[in-house]
Chain A
Amino acid sequence: MAAPSAAGLGRRLRAWLPRIMPVRWSRYNPSYLEPEVKKESYQKPLEELTEEERQQMELKAVRPIKAAPPTLSSSVFSDPMISKFTNMMMKSGNKVLARSLMSQTLEAIKRKQLEKYHKAPENEKETIECNPYVIFHQALKNCQPIIGLSNITKGGKTYQVPIPLTDNRKRFLAMKWLITECRENKHRRTMMPEKLSQELLLAFNNEGPVIKKKHVLHKMAEANRAYAHFRWW
């Protein structure tokens, strides 16, 4: 980010310097606004906008806007969950490889489901889900734990205390479990798309090792119910 001097704003913002020079936080002046990527929001006619939206539009006319990150896209094919998953699969910054693995996984899921579809009898054909994105989202949802455990030290001893999880944490845990399961517990020579597609299909049907791990976590939390009052937040 350039030297902190925003153009044409209030005097106190013009000479803004952060108290601590951040290395990994955002170095933007707080006056910068987030970019709006959705096409639908620009196609609405003026009359339909509410008061807040009109004020927001007027603000955008004067304030500078942050640069859009390369992962943010207005395409119909982009999916934030898939992007997050790809980032988690990425090793040493090789986004090209991670993205190709992701697309091969989705292709593998589609092929397996299509084979099942063609072999199934007529009445069952409608129940088979062929859309790989739907399968991916449902599988992730099935893998998300509801309650988590955290280590709290009280009186010298550490207890595993059940705590509620935020949405982000749940999503992160589901994706992390899927990826570690595929990387560690499979045969060395199987390709990642093959392993991942198999795991996603199992998770979609509520079977498989990741769902088992989630149930184990839930059982541990249930078993440690007595320590729930150790939590103070």
Chain B
Amino acid sequence: QLDRGCALHTAARGGLSFVSTQDVPAERPRAVFHTSESDPAKHTEQHEGRLYNIPLEEVKAVFPHGLPYRFQQQIQTFNEARVMVRRPALELLAYLKGSNLAHPAVRYVIYGERGTGKTMTLCHVVHYCSRQGWLVLHIPDAHLWVKNCKELLQSSYNKDRLDQPLQASAWLKNFKTSNERFLREIKTQKKYMWGKRESTEEGRPLGEVVEQGLARVRSASDAVGVVLREVKQQSQRGSFRLLVAVDGVNALWGRTTLRKEDKSPVSPEELTLVHNLRKMLRNDW
């Protein structure tokens, strides 16, 4: 209790200096740590260390699958989603605000020890990008694609590779909830054949590809590949801005715990999802 009192003292002193810009926190002392600025675009060093609120509807729309488990528990307990504004996140937001579309994409790495807030920083940046209207490709945890997969199918597209229908369909479902608007606007530029009978024509909205992936779970990984390729090609034209956020990126280049039917270990290149994602992480768009 003694420590909390000291922290309150120092924070309150800092808080009183800009009481004019924010609303005066009422009798509740905990409100000193909150900030009413809920748009990540307007966060500055002033707001560092403060908790900003994300409305619960936005949480469901923007983060169907991104938040860590303990944070989701906190949301359930306190009935609100409060994220702390931190310096690495502010730095990254500054870089993104000043990024030039003409140049190839810059790749940023958020690194740190366990429990230091890497995933939450990523979620802050994803929230900012979705507020600004970017298309966000958020992979919540690359480790989930590389271990403990119950079903592995041999890919029909390329004989050497292995498909993961469950993980791919789960990701497609969440992708659909987070980026509804873009699925209607982006059109495919090539004809894609799913097996012998089904195909998607040129010029159909991307939503159809996603529906196809969800309906035919066997071709879900290929649908993911198609989505990634289309999005990469079309972002170069400049109609929308693209953010690829991968949590646990080291999993794409490490070892997998999966084995083929003849008990030989699977390397990450042999998984379609990982292969396509690695192509996205290259610098050529």
Contact = CB atoms under 8 A, between A and B. Distances in A.
A118 B56 CA distance: 14
Interface string A94-115: 0000000000000000010011
Nearest to B2: A76
Interface in A106-142: 111, 114-115, 118-119
B1 A115 contact: no
Nearest to A119: B79
Interface string B72-88: 01001111000000000
A114 B78 CA distance: 7
B77 A76 contact: no
Interface residues of A, number: 6
Most A CB within 10 A of own CB, among B1, B73, B76, B77: B77
B79 A76 contact: no
A118 B79 contact: yes
A119 B79 CA distance: 9
A198 B72 CA distance: 21
Decide if the interface of chain A is mainly helix, strand, loop or mixed: helix
B73 A111 contact: yes
Interface of B is mostly: helix
Interface in B64-102: 73, 76-79
Nearest to A115: B77
B1 A118 contact: no
A128 to B, nearest CB: 14
Q: Which of B1, B73, B78 has the most CB of A within 10 A?
A: B78
Contacts of A115: 76-77, 79
B41 to A, nearest CB: 29
Interface string B50-74: 0000000000000000000000010
Contacts of A119: 79
A76 B1 CA distance: 9
B77 A111 contact: yes
Contacts of A111: 73, 76-77
A114 B77 CA distance: 6
A79 to B, nearest CB: 15
A166 B50 CA distance: 53
A115 B1 CA distance: 24
B245 to A, nearest CB: 29
Contacts of B79: 115, 118-119
Nearest to A76: B1
Contacts of B73: 111
A76 B4 CA distance: 14
A76 B73 CA distance: 28
Nearest to A114: B77
Contacts of B78: 114, 118
B105 to A, nearest CB: 41
A119 B1 CA distance: 28
Nearest to B77: A111
Nearest to A111: B77
A167 B79 CA distance: 41
Contacts of A76: 1
Interface string B1-18: 100000000000000000
Contacts of A118: 78-79
A118 B80 CA distance: 10
10 contacts: A76-B1, A111-B73, A111-B76, A111-B77, A114-B77, A115-B76, A115-B77, A115-B79, A118-B78, A119-B79
Given A111-B73, A111-B76, A119-B79, 5 more contacts: A76-B1, A111-B77, A114-B77, A115-B77, A118-B79
Q: Report the 10 A-B pairs with minimum CB-CB distance, sorted nearest first.
A: A118-B79, A111-B77, A114-B77, A115-B77, A115-B76, A114-B78, A76-B1, A118-B78, A111-B73, A115-B79
